[in-house]
């Protein structure tokens, strides 16, 4: 690849011109010099003298054939007289793509429409005209410093979704492959967007979640947190029954909702991972404005080595004019037993349980429970 050092190296043993500014004459003066070496500096032979660090600028008659100005692949082929078909595969970088989703929820936050986009970015230094475009979706292992492959999407051929017929999707190894069904031209330094999918009227569920933390149960705290924010999430099942049922490549989902005037307002965004069909997609929208909670430790006892009991009071307040359902997740991180509780707890896994409470409009609900925790 062409650089000042490489150009000098190619001219070792050859003659170059050296221009030096003459202050008296007010112009450049030229002398010819032979390049003897470029190891740890440039050594020149000018006339009968050998010199280095010679002031001036070097001028070269041409760029050698085996030096190129930008990254280039060159093949030398040797074949018989007949025409031969050659297929060449190689890896490059700075030729990337990513997936994005735009989702619109309805007035009741129960159904949604989504449009998927592929954004192609070519900064590879080369243009690709009338190329066959194939996109690989998945976590492809690369043992190099090259940028990771972009994330992919899937084409949808079902009646419920108007899939862009330009793409064809297929399972490929442990990934998904998306092939554009027409030639594509992607110029150098160009960014291009292609519609990948459209789906409408699939079911979603808005969830309000109040999270605890494992360290709460390890010591005496008193008032742990007041006016704690309640997270807002949108869940939907990626299933055919729900009007979906497609591999969803990783990407950013931006969510909008129409206001009273009909104008769409941005209400949140989140990044989703590669999601196979029949799995749940969860989008974190942000935090609720009108639903807050207080968490207070009412009692804490050390029962034995590694065994504690604590009593908790969680007050949830709803300042909206409609009922709010809140899920309270309590991750303990140890063996636990609920000794008493004002509300029924649901065990989610070995270290987590939750409460689900409905809070009346402009009202509040209080959860009280006592739990024994064994740490070792």
From the list 147, 51, 150, 161, the residue with the least C-alpha distance to 99 is 150
Among 26-35, 220-229, 350-359, the range scoring the smallest mean pLDDT is 220-229
The torsion angles phi and psi of 280, rounded to 5 degrees, stand at: -90, 135
Q: Is the pLDDT of residue 239 over 60?
A: yes
Do 42 and 123 lie in one domain? The reply is no
Do 31 and 99 lie in one domain? The reply is no
Do 180 and 324 lie in one domain? The reply is no
- Residue at token pair 């050859």: 14
Do 115 and 196 lie in one domain? The reply is yes
Q: Regarding predicted confidence, which is higher, 18 or 162? A: 18
End-to-end distance of the chain based on CA atoms, in angstroms? 62
Q: At 213, which CATH number?
A: 2.60.40
In a domain, 342, yes or no: yes
Distance separating alpha carbons of residues 103 and 105, to the nearest angstrom: 7
Q: Regarding predicted confidence, which is higher, 264 or 156? A: 264
Do 216 and 161 lie in one domain? The reply is no
Domain boundary among 154, 183, 203: 203
Distance separating alpha carbons of residues 99 and 205, to the nearest angstrom: 23
- Per-range mean pLDDT, top range of 197-201, 216-220, 270-274: 270-274
- Domain hosting residue 332, numbered range: 205-238+279-374
In a domain, 221, yes or no: yes
Domain boundary among 203, 228, 251: 203
User: How many Å is the maximal CA-CA distance in the chain?
Assistant: 102
Q: Is the pLDDT of residue 341 over 70?
A: yes
Cβ contact 33:59 at 8 Å: no
In a domain, 64, yes or no: no
The torsion angles phi and psi of 285, rounded to 5 degrees, stand at: -90, -30
In a domain, 227, yes or no: yes
Confidence of residue 145 (pLDDT cuts 50, 70, 90): low
pLDDT per residue as tens digits for the range 150-203: 433 333 222 233 334 456 767 777 777 767 778 888 899 999 988 877 889 999
From the list 316, 329, 246, the residue with the least C-alpha distance to 288 is 316
Total tally of structural domains belonging to the chain: 3
Among 127-136, 252-261, 280-289, 346-355, the range scoring the smallest mean pLDDT is 127-136
In a domain, 82, yes or no: no
Q: Is the pLDDT of residue 215 over 80?
A: yes
In a domain, 274, yes or no: no
Do 159 and 194 lie in one domain? The reply is yes
Indicate the pairing of strand 364-374 with strand 307-318. Answer: antiparallel
Do 221 and 361 lie in one domain? The reply is yes
Please give the pLDDT value at position 150. 42
Q: In what order do the strands lie in the sheet with 27-37?
A: 49-52, 43-46, 27-37, 15-22, 57-59
pLDDT per residue as tens digits for the range 32-87: 999 999 998 999 999 999 999 899 999 999 999 888 887 677 777 787 778 888 88
Do 357 and 305 lie in one domain? The reply is yes
Q: What is the DSSP letter of 158?
A: S
Q: Where would I find the H helices in the chain?
A: 4-10
Q: In what order do the strands lie in the sheet with 280-304?
A: 335-341, 364-374, 307-318, 280-304, 223-237, 205-211, 324-331, 352-359, 345-349
Do 189 and 326 lie in one domain? The reply is no
Q: Which residues contact 208 (CB under 8 A, 6 or more apart)?
A: 230, 231, 232, 233, 288, 291, 324, 325, 326, 327
Average pLDDT, the chain: 87
Do 233 and 364 lie in one domain? The reply is yes
What's this model's pTM, rounded to 2 decimal places? 0.71
Do 184 and 220 lie in one domain? The reply is no
Please give the pLDDT value at position 203. 94
Q: Is the pLDDT of residue 144 over 70?
A: no
pLDDT per residue as tens digits for the range 223-237: 777 788 999 999 999
- Residue at token pair 């707890």: 345
In a domain, 301, yes or no: yes
Q: What is the dihedral of CA 184, 190, 196, 199, to 10 degrees?
A: -150
In a domain, 209, yes or no: yes
- Token pair listed for 258: 């129409």
Do 313 and 193 lie in one domain? The reply is no
């Amino acid at each position: 690849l062409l650089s000042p050092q490489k150009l000098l190296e190619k001219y070792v043993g050859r003659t170059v011109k050296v221009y030096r500014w003459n202050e008296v004459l007010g112009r450049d003066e030229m002398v010819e010099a032979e390049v003897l070496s470029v190891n740890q500096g440039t050594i020149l032979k000018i006339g009968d003298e050998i010199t280095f660090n010679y002031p001036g600028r070097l001028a070269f008659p041409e760029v050698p054939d085996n030096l190129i100005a930008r990254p280039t692949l060159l093949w030398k082929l040797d074949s018989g007289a007949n025409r031969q078909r050659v297929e060449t595969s190689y890896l490059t970088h700075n030729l990337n793509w990513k997936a994005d989703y735009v989702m619109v929820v309805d007035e009741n936050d129960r159904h949604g429409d989504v449009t998927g986009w592929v954004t192609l970015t070519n900064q590879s230094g080369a243009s690709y005209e009338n190329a066959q475009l194939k996109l690989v979706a998945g976590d492809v292992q690369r043992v190099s410093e090259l940028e990771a492959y972009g994330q992919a999407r899937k084409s949808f051929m079902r009646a419920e979704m108007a899939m862009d017929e330009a793409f064809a999707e297929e399972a490929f190894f442990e990934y998904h492959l998306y092939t554009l069904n027409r030639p594509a031209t992607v110029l150098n330094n160009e960014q291009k967007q292609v519609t990948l999918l459209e789906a409408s009227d699939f079911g979603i569920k808005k969830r309000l979640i109040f999270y605890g933390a494992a360290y709460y149960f390890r010591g005496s705290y008193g008032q742990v947190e007041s006016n704690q924010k309640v997270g807002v999430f949108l869940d939907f099942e990626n299933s055919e029954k729900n009007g979906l049922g497609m591999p969803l490549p990783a990407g950013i989902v931006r969510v909008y909702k129409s206001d009273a005037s009909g104008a769409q307002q941005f209400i949140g965004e989140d990044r989703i991972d590669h999601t196979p069909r029949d799995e749940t997609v969860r989008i974190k929208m942000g935090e609720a404005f009108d639903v807050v909670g207080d968490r207070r430790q009412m009692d804490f006892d050390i029962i034995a080595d590694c065994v504690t009991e604590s009593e908790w009071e969680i007050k949830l307040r709803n300042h909206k004019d409609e009922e709010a359902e809140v899920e309270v997740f309590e991750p303990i991180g140890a063996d636990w037993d609920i000794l008493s509780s004002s509300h029924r707890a649901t065990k989610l896994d070995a270290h987590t349980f939750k409460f689900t409470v409905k809070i009346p409009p402009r009202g509040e609900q209080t959860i009280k429970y006592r739990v024994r925790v064994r740490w070792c």
